[in-house]
Amino acid sequence: MGFHLCSTCGRPVFDNCASFMVELPDGGGVAMVGPACADGSMLRVCQQLAADGAPPVDPALLTGLEQLRGALAG
């Protein structure tokens, strides 16, 4: 079974699981992301974790998720 890594969070997205292609703004190319990132649930979890401060959230991950949300909203 194949998989690719989610462009945003780096977690594996297996081929039998829906993945989403998102065109990034500013010539960022096309991201292939997993369902949790595409539907915003990963962003909500990371924002909650960042608010709580534990465990620490990689700021780059939060930024990536917010950019993804912007790309999906646009």
Binding site for Zn ion (CB under 5 A): 6, 8-9, 34, 37
Q: Which is nearer to Zn ion, 9 or 46 (CB)?
A: 9
Least distance (Å) between residue 49 CB and Zn ion: 15
Phi, psi of 30 (to 5 degrees): -110, 130
Instruction: Name which of 5 and 52 has its Cβ closer to Zn ion.
Output: 5
Cβ 1 to Zn ion, closest distance in Å? 18
Residue located via tokens 């977690």: 11
Smallest gap from Cβ 26 to Zn ion, in A, equals 20
Nearest residue (CB) to Zn ion, 25 versus 41: 41
Handedness of CA 18, 74, 49, 60 (dihedral sign): positive
Region at 24 (left for phi over 0; alpha for psi -120 to 50; beta for the rest): beta
